[in-house]
Amino acid sequence: MDKENNVNPMNNLSDELTLSILIKKWAIELGFDLVGFAKADTPINYSHYINSIENSYHAEMEFLSSSIELKKSPTKIMPECKSVICLAIFYNPPVPEDYSGINSDYAYISRYALGMDYHLVLNKLCKKLIAKIKNEIDANIITMHYVDTGPIIEKSFSSMAGLGWIGKNTLIINDKYGSYMFLSEILINLELEYDKPSRPKCGNCRICIDSCPTKALIEPYILNSQLCISYHTNENRGNVPNNIKSKLKTKIYGCDICQEVCPYNNKLSTTSHKEFFPKSGIIRKNVSDWLSISELEFKDLFRDSPLKRLKYIGFSRNINNVMQTI
Protein backbone atom coordinates (compact mmCIF):
# COMPACT_ATOMS: atom_id res chain seq x y z
CA MET A 1 0.00 0.00 0.00
CA ASP A 2 1.35 3.43 -0.98
CA LYS A 3 1.49 5.56 2.16
CA GLU A 4 2.12 8.96 0.53
CA ASN A 5 -0.56 11.50 1.38
CA ASN A 6 0.20 14.35 -1.05
CA VAL A 7 -2.16 12.95 -3.67
CA ASN A 8 -4.23 15.16 -5.93
CA PRO A 9 -6.27 12.59 -7.87
CA MET A 10 -8.35 15.19 -9.69
CA ASN A 11 -5.45 16.88 -11.51
CA ASN A 12 -6.66 15.78 -14.92
CA LEU A 13 -10.30 15.03 -14.15
CA SER A 14 -13.20 17.43 -13.73
CA ASP A 15 -15.14 15.79 -10.92
CA GLU A 16 -16.04 12.62 -9.03
CA LEU A 17 -18.50 11.58 -11.73
CA THR A 18 -15.88 11.62 -14.46
CA LEU A 19 -13.48 9.67 -12.29
CA SER A 20 -16.18 7.14 -11.41
CA ILE A 21 -17.14 6.60 -15.03
CA LEU A 22 -13.52 5.94 -15.95
CA ILE A 23 -12.94 3.44 -13.15
CA LYS A 24 -16.11 1.54 -14.06
CA LYS A 25 -15.06 1.49 -17.70
CA TRP A 26 -11.62 0.13 -16.86
CA ALA A 27 -13.03 -2.51 -14.50
CA ILE A 28 -15.37 -3.89 -17.16
CA GLU A 29 -12.64 -3.82 -19.80
CA LEU A 30 -10.37 -5.84 -17.52
CA GLY A 31 -13.01 -8.56 -17.10
CA PHE A 32 -15.18 -7.71 -14.10
CA ASP A 33 -18.90 -8.16 -14.72
CA LEU A 34 -20.14 -5.70 -12.09
CA VAL A 35 -18.64 -2.65 -10.42
CA GLY A 36 -20.11 -0.13 -8.01
CA PHE A 37 -19.00 2.36 -5.38
CA ALA A 38 -19.94 2.68 -1.71
CA LYS A 39 -18.94 5.27 0.84
CA ALA A 40 -16.37 4.13 3.39
CA ASP A 41 -18.85 3.91 6.24
CA THR A 42 -20.27 1.39 8.69
CA PRO A 43 -21.68 -1.55 6.67
CA ILE A 44 -25.46 -1.69 6.52
CA ASN A 45 -25.84 -4.86 8.60
CA TYR A 46 -22.95 -4.53 11.02
CA SER A 47 -25.19 -5.13 14.04
CA HIS A 48 -26.69 -8.19 12.31
CA TYR A 49 -23.16 -9.50 11.75
CA ILE A 50 -22.25 -8.96 15.40
CA ASN A 51 -25.40 -10.79 16.53
CA SER A 52 -24.50 -13.73 14.32
CA ILE A 53 -21.03 -13.95 15.86
CA GLU A 54 -22.41 -13.62 19.40
CA ASN A 55 -24.72 -16.57 18.66
CA SER A 56 -21.77 -18.63 17.38
CA TYR A 57 -23.38 -19.06 13.97
CA HIS A 58 -19.88 -18.76 12.47
CA ALA A 59 -18.97 -22.15 14.02
CA GLU A 60 -15.18 -22.57 14.15
CA MET A 61 -14.40 -20.00 11.45
CA GLU A 62 -12.28 -17.68 13.55
CA PHE A 63 -11.55 -15.44 10.57
CA LEU A 64 -15.19 -14.33 10.76
CA SER A 65 -15.07 -13.49 14.47
CA SER A 66 -11.65 -11.83 14.48
CA SER A 67 -10.97 -8.12 13.90
CA ILE A 68 -14.54 -7.14 14.73
CA GLU A 69 -13.57 -3.54 15.40
CA LEU A 70 -11.85 -3.28 12.01
CA LYS A 71 -15.03 -4.49 10.31
CA LYS A 72 -16.95 -1.52 11.68
CA SER A 73 -15.61 0.72 8.91
CA PRO A 74 -13.02 0.57 6.12
CA THR A 75 -11.40 3.62 7.73
CA LYS A 76 -10.46 1.35 10.63
CA ILE A 77 -8.41 -0.68 8.16
CA MET A 78 -7.12 2.19 6.05
CA PRO A 79 -7.57 5.62 7.68
CA GLU A 80 -7.24 7.40 4.33
CA CYS A 81 -10.09 5.41 2.79
CA LYS A 82 -12.93 7.44 1.27
CA SER A 83 -14.62 4.89 -0.96
CA VAL A 84 -14.99 1.16 -1.50
CA ILE A 85 -14.85 -0.07 -5.08
CA CYS A 86 -16.99 -3.22 -5.13
CA LEU A 87 -16.41 -5.72 -7.91
CA ALA A 88 -17.99 -8.98 -8.98
CA ILE A 89 -17.48 -11.76 -11.50
CA PHE A 90 -20.23 -14.13 -12.63
CA TYR A 91 -19.04 -17.74 -12.32
CA ASN A 92 -21.94 -20.07 -13.17
CA PRO A 93 -20.09 -22.93 -14.92
CA PRO A 94 -21.36 -25.10 -17.77
CA VAL A 95 -22.58 -28.31 -16.13
CA PRO A 96 -25.04 -31.05 -17.20
CA GLU A 97 -28.68 -30.55 -16.20
CA ASP A 98 -28.51 -33.53 -13.85
CA TYR A 99 -25.47 -32.15 -12.03
CA SER A 100 -27.17 -30.82 -8.93
CA GLY A 101 -26.70 -30.52 -5.20
CA ILE A 102 -30.39 -31.26 -4.75
CA ASN A 103 -30.50 -34.84 -5.98
CA SER A 104 -27.55 -36.01 -8.05
CA ASP A 105 -26.35 -39.56 -8.60
CA TYR A 106 -22.84 -38.22 -9.18
CA ALA A 107 -20.28 -37.01 -6.65
CA TYR A 108 -21.08 -33.37 -6.11
CA ILE A 109 -18.52 -30.58 -5.86
CA SER A 110 -19.89 -27.07 -5.39
CA ARG A 111 -20.12 -25.09 -8.61
CA TYR A 112 -17.78 -22.38 -7.39
CA ALA A 113 -15.01 -24.95 -6.88
CA LEU A 114 -15.18 -26.79 -10.19
CA GLY A 115 -12.58 -24.55 -11.81
CA MET A 116 -9.75 -22.29 -10.74
CA ASP A 117 -9.59 -20.74 -7.27
CA TYR A 118 -11.42 -17.41 -7.51
CA HIS A 119 -8.93 -15.80 -5.10
CA LEU A 120 -6.21 -16.20 -7.74
CA VAL A 121 -8.34 -14.81 -10.56
CA LEU A 122 -9.85 -11.81 -8.79
CA ASN A 123 -6.66 -10.89 -6.97
CA LYS A 124 -4.88 -10.62 -10.30
CA LEU A 125 -7.65 -8.47 -11.79
CA CYS A 126 -7.77 -6.18 -8.75
CA LYS A 127 -4.04 -5.56 -9.08
CA LYS A 128 -4.49 -4.72 -12.76
CA LEU A 129 -7.29 -2.28 -11.99
CA ILE A 130 -5.24 -0.59 -9.26
CA ALA A 131 -2.28 -0.27 -11.64
CA LYS A 132 -4.55 1.26 -14.27
CA ILE A 133 -5.97 3.77 -11.81
CA LYS A 134 -2.52 4.80 -10.61
CA ASN A 135 -1.05 4.96 -14.11
CA GLU A 136 -3.90 6.98 -15.57
CA ILE A 137 -4.76 9.24 -12.62
CA ASP A 138 -2.03 9.53 -9.98
CA ALA A 139 0.68 7.16 -8.84
CA ASN A 140 0.28 8.38 -5.24
CA ILE A 141 -3.28 7.14 -4.86
CA ILE A 142 -3.58 4.89 -1.79
CA THR A 143 -5.34 1.53 -2.11
CA MET A 144 -5.86 -1.81 -0.42
CA HIS A 145 -7.71 -4.73 -1.95
CA TYR A 146 -9.37 -7.89 -0.69
CA VAL A 147 -10.77 -11.04 -2.23
CA ASP A 148 -12.81 -12.67 0.52
CA THR A 149 -9.84 -12.46 2.85
CA GLY A 150 -9.79 -9.22 4.83
CA PRO A 151 -11.69 -7.58 7.69
CA ILE A 152 -14.44 -6.18 5.49
CA ILE A 153 -18.05 -7.35 5.36
CA GLU A 154 -18.06 -7.63 1.61
CA LYS A 155 -21.68 -8.60 1.01
CA SER A 156 -22.82 -5.49 2.88
CA PHE A 157 -20.65 -3.19 0.81
CA SER A 158 -21.62 -4.95 -2.43
CA SER A 159 -25.25 -4.28 -1.59
CA MET A 160 -24.47 -0.67 -0.64
CA ALA A 161 -22.71 -0.27 -4.01
CA GLY A 162 -25.71 -1.58 -5.96
CA LEU A 163 -24.25 -4.92 -7.07
CA GLY A 164 -27.19 -6.82 -5.62
CA TRP A 165 -29.25 -7.33 -2.52
CA ILE A 166 -28.56 -9.70 0.36
CA GLY A 167 -31.02 -12.56 -0.12
CA LYS A 168 -32.69 -14.74 2.47
CA ASN A 169 -30.01 -17.34 1.74
CA THR A 170 -27.49 -14.70 2.99
CA LEU A 171 -25.89 -14.38 -0.46
CA ILE A 172 -25.73 -11.38 -2.78
CA ILE A 173 -28.34 -11.73 -5.55
CA ASN A 174 -28.29 -9.75 -8.78
CA ASP A 175 -31.12 -9.52 -11.32
CA LYS A 176 -28.87 -10.62 -14.20
CA TYR A 177 -26.36 -12.93 -12.51
CA GLY A 178 -28.36 -14.42 -9.67
CA SER A 179 -26.17 -15.40 -6.73
CA TYR A 180 -23.35 -17.07 -8.67
CA MET A 181 -20.90 -14.23 -8.14
CA PHE A 182 -17.42 -13.84 -6.71
CA LEU A 183 -16.84 -10.57 -4.86
CA SER A 184 -13.81 -8.38 -4.25
CA GLU A 185 -13.16 -4.88 -2.97
CA ILE A 186 -10.65 -2.07 -3.41
CA LEU A 187 -10.36 0.52 -0.66
CA ILE A 188 -9.27 3.85 -2.09
CA ASN A 189 -8.57 7.38 -0.83
CA LEU A 190 -10.76 9.05 -3.47
CA GLU A 191 -14.25 10.47 -3.28
CA LEU A 192 -16.37 8.75 -5.93
CA GLU A 193 -19.93 9.02 -7.21
CA TYR A 194 -21.63 6.50 -4.95
CA ASP A 195 -24.19 4.09 -6.34
CA LYS A 196 -27.66 3.60 -4.92
CA PRO A 197 -27.97 0.58 -2.61
CA SER A 198 -29.79 -2.41 -4.09
CA ARG A 199 -33.42 -2.89 -3.15
CA PRO A 200 -34.31 -6.32 -1.65
CA LYS A 201 -36.44 -8.38 -4.03
CA CYS A 202 -36.97 -11.70 -2.26
CA GLY A 203 -40.47 -10.69 -1.21
CA ASN A 204 -42.41 -13.51 0.44
CA CYS A 205 -40.31 -16.23 -1.19
CA ARG A 206 -38.64 -18.64 1.23
CA ILE A 207 -37.82 -21.56 -1.03
CA CYS A 208 -34.13 -21.44 -0.05
CA ILE A 209 -35.05 -21.72 3.63
CA ASP A 210 -37.50 -24.56 3.10
CA SER A 211 -35.13 -26.48 0.80
CA CYS A 212 -32.09 -26.54 3.08
CA PRO A 213 -31.71 -30.23 4.07
CA THR A 214 -30.14 -29.43 7.45
CA LYS A 215 -32.23 -26.32 8.24
CA ALA A 216 -29.06 -24.24 8.41
CA LEU A 217 -31.06 -21.19 7.28
CA ILE A 218 -32.78 -20.90 10.63
CA GLU A 219 -34.75 -17.84 9.50
CA PRO A 220 -34.55 -15.31 6.65
CA TYR A 221 -31.07 -13.80 6.34
CA ILE A 222 -29.61 -15.92 9.14
CA LEU A 223 -27.33 -18.90 8.44
CA ASN A 224 -26.16 -21.13 11.27
CA SER A 225 -22.90 -22.51 9.90
CA GLN A 226 -22.91 -25.24 12.54
CA LEU A 227 -25.74 -26.83 10.53
CA CYS A 228 -24.42 -26.03 7.06
CA ILE A 229 -23.20 -28.79 4.73
CA SER A 230 -20.87 -26.37 2.95
CA TYR A 231 -19.20 -25.44 6.22
CA HIS A 232 -18.69 -29.04 7.29
CA THR A 233 -17.33 -30.19 3.91
CA ASN A 234 -15.24 -27.07 3.22
CA GLU A 235 -14.08 -25.50 6.48
CA ASN A 236 -14.56 -28.01 9.30
CA ARG A 237 -11.29 -29.86 9.85
CA GLY A 238 -12.65 -32.18 12.55
CA ASN A 239 -15.31 -34.85 12.65
CA VAL A 240 -18.57 -34.16 10.84
CA PRO A 241 -21.60 -34.61 13.13
CA ASN A 242 -23.88 -37.56 12.34
CA ASN A 243 -26.89 -35.30 11.77
CA ILE A 244 -24.95 -33.61 8.95
CA LYS A 245 -23.49 -36.84 7.55
CA SER A 246 -26.98 -38.28 7.12
CA LYS A 247 -27.91 -35.38 4.81
CA LEU A 248 -24.83 -35.37 2.59
CA LYS A 249 -26.15 -37.68 -0.13
CA THR A 250 -23.39 -37.40 -2.76
CA LYS A 251 -21.94 -34.03 -1.68
CA ILE A 252 -18.20 -34.38 -1.29
CA TYR A 253 -17.48 -30.63 -1.30
CA GLY A 254 -20.06 -27.91 -0.80
CA CYS A 255 -23.80 -27.95 -1.38
CA ASP A 256 -25.42 -25.16 -3.50
CA ILE A 257 -29.05 -26.16 -2.80
CA CYS A 258 -30.02 -22.72 -1.49
CA GLN A 259 -28.71 -21.29 -4.76
CA GLU A 260 -30.07 -23.90 -7.13
CA VAL A 261 -33.65 -23.44 -5.90
CA CYS A 262 -33.51 -19.62 -6.02
CA PRO A 263 -35.80 -18.22 -8.75
CA TYR A 264 -33.15 -15.66 -9.67
CA ASN A 265 -30.82 -18.50 -10.64
CA ASN A 266 -33.30 -20.06 -13.06
CA LYS A 267 -32.31 -20.04 -16.72
CA LEU A 268 -29.01 -18.26 -16.18
CA SER A 269 -26.43 -18.27 -18.91
CA THR A 270 -23.05 -19.80 -18.20
CA THR A 271 -20.02 -17.71 -17.39
CA SER A 272 -17.74 -16.42 -20.12
CA HIS A 273 -14.79 -16.72 -17.73
CA LYS A 274 -13.22 -20.01 -18.76
CA GLU A 275 -11.10 -20.09 -15.60
CA PHE A 276 -14.24 -21.24 -13.80
CA PHE A 277 -15.17 -23.99 -16.26
CA PRO A 278 -15.05 -27.47 -14.67
CA LYS A 279 -11.69 -29.16 -14.62
CA SER A 280 -11.47 -32.16 -16.90
CA GLY A 281 -12.57 -35.39 -15.30
CA ILE A 282 -14.37 -34.14 -12.19
CA ILE A 283 -17.95 -34.06 -13.54
CA ARG A 284 -20.05 -37.23 -13.74
CA LYS A 285 -17.87 -39.24 -11.39
CA ASN A 286 -19.39 -41.58 -8.86
CA VAL A 287 -18.37 -41.12 -5.25
CA SER A 288 -16.64 -44.52 -5.33
CA ASP A 289 -14.53 -43.32 -8.26
CA TRP A 290 -12.80 -40.87 -5.93
CA LEU A 291 -11.75 -43.58 -3.45
CA SER A 292 -8.69 -44.51 -5.47
CA ILE A 293 -7.27 -41.00 -5.85
CA SER A 294 -3.77 -40.71 -4.39
CA GLU A 295 -2.41 -37.72 -2.52
CA LEU A 296 -0.14 -36.90 -5.44
CA GLU A 297 -3.06 -37.04 -7.88
CA PHE A 298 -5.13 -34.86 -5.56
CA LYS A 299 -2.39 -32.22 -5.38
CA ASP A 300 -1.94 -32.23 -9.14
CA LEU A 301 -5.66 -32.04 -9.97
CA PHE A 302 -6.52 -29.37 -7.40
CA ARG A 303 -3.28 -27.38 -7.27
CA ASP A 304 -5.05 -24.13 -8.29
CA SER A 305 -8.49 -25.05 -6.94
CA PRO A 306 -10.40 -24.03 -3.78
CA LEU A 307 -10.14 -27.70 -2.76
CA LYS A 308 -6.42 -27.23 -2.21
CA ARG A 309 -7.20 -25.68 1.20
CA LEU A 310 -9.13 -28.79 2.21
CA LYS A 311 -6.03 -30.92 1.64
CA TYR A 312 -5.99 -34.59 0.80
CA ILE A 313 -6.84 -35.70 4.33
CA GLY A 314 -9.98 -33.55 4.38
CA PHE A 315 -11.04 -34.66 0.91
CA SER A 316 -10.60 -38.31 1.87
CA ARG A 317 -12.65 -37.74 5.02
CA ASN A 318 -15.48 -36.27 2.92
CA ILE A 319 -15.42 -39.21 0.51
CA ASN A 320 -15.56 -41.72 3.35
CA ASN A 321 -18.39 -39.84 5.08
CA VAL A 322 -20.48 -39.92 1.93
CA MET A 323 -19.70 -43.59 1.30
CA GLN A 324 -21.07 -44.39 4.75
CA THR A 325 -24.45 -42.90 3.92
CA ILE A 326 -25.19 -43.78 0.29
Sorted by sequence, the CB contacts under 8 Å of residue 53 that are 6+ apart come out as 64, 65, 68
- 311-315: which pairs have CB atoms within 8 A and are 24 or more residues apart? 314/237, 315/252, 315/253, 315/290
Q: Which helix (H) or strand (E) holds 244?
A: helix 242-245
pLDDT digits (tens, 9 = 90+) for 220-245: 999 999 999 999 999 999 999 999 99
Q: Could you tell me the pLDDT band of residue 8, with boundaries at 50, 70 and 90?
A: very low
Check pLDDT > 80 for residue 283. yes
pLDDT bin (cut points 50, 70, 90) of residue 314 is very high
Q: Which of 183, 189, 113 minimizes the C-alpha distance to 150? A: 183
Nearest CA to 216 out of 246, 244, 254 is that of: 244
pLDDT at 7: 46
Q: For the chain, which residues make up each domain, given as ranges? A: 16-93+115-188, 207-323
Q: Which residues are catalytic?
A: 148
CA distance 15 to 38: 17
Q: Find the range with the poorest average confidence among 96-100, 128-132, 176-180.
A: 96-100
Report which residue type is found at 300.
D
Instruction: Identify the band that residue 149 occupies on the pLDDT scale cut at 50, 70 and 90.
Output: confident
As a whole number of angstroms, the distance between CA 64 and CA 77 comes to 15
With a cut of 90, say whether residue 74 has pLDDT above it: yes
Please give the order of strands across the beta sheet that includes 34-39.
34-39, 83-90, 181-188, 143-146
Per-residue model confidence as pLDDT tens digits over 43-58: 999 999 999 999 999 9
Neighbours of 320 (CB within 10 A): 14
Q: How high is the pLDDT of residue 9?
A: 45
With a cut of 60, say whether residue 1 has pLDDT above it: no
Q: Which residues does 79 contact at the CB level (< 8 Å), separation at least 6?
A: none
| CA 167 and chain centroid, separation | 14
